Chain A
Amino acid sequence: MSTRSTDPPPIRSRIDRALIRGAAGATAVLLLTSCATLSSGNGERDNVPEDVSTDITDEPVELTLAYTDDPPSTELVEGFTEQHPNVSIELQQTPFTDYVKTVTLSMSSDEAPDIAQYNPGAMRSLIPSGHVMDLEPYVEAYGWEESFPEATLEPLRADEDATRFGTGSLYAVPGALSVLGVFYNRELLARAGVEEPPATFEEFEDALAAVDEEGIAPFSVGGLEVGGFQVWNTLLNAFGDHEAYRDWVHGAPGSTIETDEAMTATGILTRWVEAGYIPESANATSDDDAKAAFGNGESAFLMIGNWAAFEMEEALGEDVGFFLLPGEDPDQVPMTSGSSVSYTVSSGTEHPDVAAAFLDYLSSPEAARIQLDTGFMPVDTDASTGEGGVLEEINSVYGTAAEQDGIVPFPDFATPGMIDQLTPGVQGLIAGSTDEETFLSDLQAEWDRVHG
């Protein structure tokens, strides 16, 4: 009989297991943290290379590259080793959620990878401890200031303490670019009588009202994850004081986000919430759910980056378009947040010239082809997909913005913990539990904690 099968020993072992879980389980996360030892951070290291050369050896060379984003890392490495058959590059991938921790530990170890994908959070410890190579000698040798757009290099510069970014020596170069903007559904807009993408912010708001009138949801917003603050980010780009904003993200002393411009941008977000353009259910919507809803034609606009372009083109084909949110003035320089998949070199590498040759390769036309094919903006902004469609459209608006110095960093780069203020903060605005002042002062409090 089944009733007799449940005798005491199994229960007992359940208790034991439960108690072991009690002792160890609550601290499970800590087991991971304590893997780190206190022995790292062994003082200063010379991280400026000497005798740099743009010629690389013909001898066989083996390098390792640590990264998280794929594409484009594998494809770019393959492209480079095709050009230099004597070089082989071993790839070490770590999932994004663990990448900061892993790259920090491996780059500070004695067997550091020669090249690593750049991560601003990790740099805050790796630059001051001298584990990342100062690339200035190569900037001069290769003329990188010419071959890479300045807007893409700027965020990769830092001072020696890595407390302030956007200034000082260069520590990485971009291997593929991303940009934030507004995807729109042509067919839904046409149904609401909107034929052209808006040229001013006023026209954009008219389009929202027209779409709403027609019973179509204006936005899909993934407020559960980063989708919420990307809306705020987009508004801030259209309304913000860009110099002040750049300084703030880069940690320039005395910077603040509590500006009139940021208040205006935040105020528009709450107005859209009140108007019902952004529903409260956004807070329970993941980024993937938001993309799926827009891709199914359930909403007119989606504020997200070019990384969604492939998916959107697949889902909506000709109906999907892309623009940068315009400001109030039609002649205003289009502004957008951009970032890059970038690569740094370990100061402990035995082959600095080869590593630098890989970085140089990233700005080449061959690399641009790969960057485009993998769904990114190419570093060489003159490159074109030649295939039309939304990818071409994104590439062209990005190029226009980049030429006019219209690329600013993402706000979550301001401090390692900023994303944990931005996501709940915007959720508060959507739920109506936070007002604009509190939202901005919370962001500033996090900034002050790190940079103050």
Chain B
Amino acid sequence: MASGALLRGNATAGTRRPRRSRLRAWLYLLPALVVYAGFAIYSAAGTVWFSFLDWDGVAPPTWAGLANYTRVLTEPLLAGAILNGLVLIVFFSLIPIAVGLLLTGLLLGRVRTGMTFFRTVFFLPQVLPLVAVGITWRWLYSDDGMINRALETVGLGAITHAWLGDYHFALIALGLIGTWCMSGLCMVLFMSGAQRIDPSLHEAAAIDGAGPLRRFRYVTLPGLRREVGIAAVITTIAALASFDLVFVTTNGGPAGQTNVPALLVYRLAFNEGTIGGASALAVVLTLIVIVLVSAIRLLTREAK
């Protein structure tokens, strides 16, 4: 809110500024703009251009029209990868938001000491490089890994698996790593949002006889609307654009069960040298990200 006010303040001040100082403002922006245009906008536009070509990266490219897009949408391998990306949203986004809300509800107003400790512990997965996270989880999930050992200890030896190698469980197992990574991030976002809610609202609700559950439902949750939106955007992008985690844990296996779009973009471009197909898949992926993110922002927009 404070930042919103700040932005509005800037905007009104801006309209009053003389022309020269606006030029100067652009001058200040220029270095960043050049870098952004050169390394993000130009590259993205190049990708769109490549997606219409048949090109191996060296020989002269030929025009391919929409053939690359047809391949992306009709080839089961590529379409399947997009579907897997959508499944991952459940594990990277929906479950972490639910867990984050639960943790917030439990910690809020009860834990007076050690809050920093809990926040640090739950946020820790965000600080670790995903490659390290992936390799650690691969060991945890392995045939004689800690998870199977734990299952055996409690008498569930019959259901032990090499989880990431299981044809049916691999995607779920992979998704749960994402849940572990993202839940802490969601919780930290929600905690900071919840602490900003005016305590008098809680007090008023309590005086009206609302229990902790109702106060959470009618005071905390509506107050967290914006943070939920942010969390959903960040985690959805992480799900759809996931690459490193998949690359080091399953590399798309077993038998393509955990293929995700970014992994196939990499393979098409760098293993097979089909730059056009890789670009087309990347463009489709970007469009899906934009559509989903816009939808989330629309849903979580605060009523004016």
Contacts and interface: CB of A to CB of B under 8 A. Distances in A.
B282 A26 contact: yes
B234 interface: yes
Interface of B is mostly: helix
Contacts, number: 209
Interface string B213-235: 00000000000000100100110
Contact of A24 (B40, B50, B55, B279): B40
Given A2-B115, A31-B39, A8 B44 contact: no
A206 B44 CA distance: 59
A198 interface: no
A30 B56 contact: no
Contacts of A284: 138, 141-143, 162-166, 250, 254
B195 A126 contact: no
A413 to B, nearest CB: 13
Nearest to A20: B40
Interface string B25-57: 000000000000001101110110010000111
A27 B195 contact: no
Interface string A3-46: 10011110110110011011111111111111010101100000
Interface string B118-135: 000000000000000000
Nearest to A298: B144
Interface stretch (B15-23, B98-106, B236-244): B236-244
Contacts of A36: 57, 275
Interface residues on A, range: 35 or more
Interface stretch (A72-80, A385-393, A425-433): A425-433
Interface string A390-427: 00000000000000000000000001110110011101
Given A8-B3, A26-B240, A223-B165, A420 B116 contact: no
B58 A281 contact: no
A283 B250 CA distance: 9
A104 interface: yes
A152 interface: no
A282 interface: yes
Interface string A257-294: 00000000000000000000001111111100100000
17 contacts: A3-B115, A7-B2, A14-B234, A15-B233, A22-B289, A26-B282, A29-B266, A29-B282, A30-B43, A34-B42, A38-B60, A101-B270, A104-B57, A105-B58, A224-B164, A420-B272, A424-B256
Shortest 3 CB-CB distances between A and B: which pairs? Answer: A284-B165, A281-B162, A283-B165
Interface of A: 2-3, 6-9, 11-12, 14-15, 18-19, 21-34, 36, 38, 40-41, 97-98, 100-101, 104-105, 108, 121, 124-126, 128-129, 223-225, 279-286, 289, 415-417, 419-420, 423-425, 427-428, 430-434
